[in-house]
Structure 1
Amino acid sequence: MNAYQPDPRTTPTVDAKRLWAGGAATAVVAALAAVVGLLLVRDVFDVPVITPATGIGTSQAANLAGHAVVAALIATALLHVLMLTTPRATSFFGWIGVLATLAATLLPFAADATSASRICSAAIYFVVGIAIVTLLTGVAGSARTS
């Protein structure tokens, strides 16, 4: 007896070049959103921004931008795996992305800082996370080939 062979027309396929090009563009947007948020909060509102303890780069802007890029690329890898293995991948990705965004948004509230600093830092992380989730969800639709 032959092993079950799935119908190739129903096997999900992903245009990896399109997905990762969209992931790279998302990483650029996320980095820019982080830097703009930092400049707005720190330089316009004169509120200190809480940044991750693990440093990427030598400045606060490079640190935030670097973490945003890493987050976007990890999210792209997760989306790629989900698209290859999971039914309704974008629904699962959306939930995972929103919950991860909420977790990152809550991190500043664990720091010893002023309320303004906590709220403004959380707002930056929230905007970056939502940008990543929404952009990659859109990219997923264009990268699906069947």
Structure 2
Amino acid sequence: MADIERPGVNAGRLWASGLATAVVAALLAIVGIMIARGLVEVAVLAPKGEGVWGNANTFTYALLSGAAALLATGLMHLLILAVATPRQFFTWIMVLVTLIAVVLPLSLTVDPGAKVATAVINLVIGLAITIIINSASSAALVIRRDPPTEQWHQPPNTY
């Protein structure tokens, strides 16, 4: 009898990668806002008078970006345990969520520059989360091999 294979996940490695991804996503949000406000002079998430660092909205945006990375990690963990091709489903889900995050600011009634800058920042953050978590999941994926169950067979009763 052959060993029985079933997928598993090294949860510690996956969630450590998810936490690192959350830091990357938060920093991407901050850098994106700094570039938009400082170099392009577009007021993203704050009135023009707030400067490059902006206001509390910058911090909130960074926190939400980090939270999105942690949610993505949870999604990947669930998919690894539940579906046949977790990385494929994860990629599709994340691409669609990222598209929503790109299109949403474009539908707001704010300055066109702010719309585009926010959409680009969301795109970069979404793609970074997707790529990093997808890559990290392959390192966290484990195949568990259960030994076959030996069944004791009695000879037929010949009474």
Unaligned 5+ runs, structure 1: 1-6, 52-57
Q: Deviations over 1:86-118 (max 9, x none)?
A: 111000000000100000111111211121111
Letter in 1 for 2:32: G
- Corresponding position of 1:54: none
Q: Alignment partner for residue 113 of structure 2, among 111, 116, 126?
A: 116
Q: Which has the larger radius of gyration?
A: 2
Conserved in 1, the CA contact under 8 Å of 2:45 and 2:57?
no
Partner of 1:98 in structure 2?
95
Query: What's the counterpart of residue 3 of structure 1?
Result: none
1:135 maps onto 2:132 in alignment:
yes
Shift of 1:50: 3.9
Name which of 25, 30, 42 aligns with 1:30. 25
More strand by share: 2
Q: TM-score, normalised by structure 2?
A: 0.80
Select between 42-51 and 21-30 the one with higher mean Cα deviation. Answer: 42-51
Report the structure, 1 or 2, having the larger helix content: 1
**1:20 matched to 2:15:** yes
Q: For the aligned residues, what is the CA RMSD?
A: 1.5
1:112-131, Cα deviation, whole Å (9 max, x unpaired): 11211111110000000000
Cα distance per residue 1:51-106 (max 9 Å; x no partner): 8xxxxxx7122011011011001000000000001111000000000100000111
Q: Using the alignment, how far apart are the partners of 2:122 and 2:60 within structure 1?
A: 13
User: Residue 50 of structure 2 aligns with which residue?
Assistant: none
Mapped to 1, the partners of 2:6 and 2:142 lie a distance apart of 10
1:42 to 10, 27, 37: 37
For structure 2, the 5+ residue unaligned runs are 47-54, 144-159
Q: Aligned partners of 2:120, 2:3: CA distance in 1, in Å?
A: 45
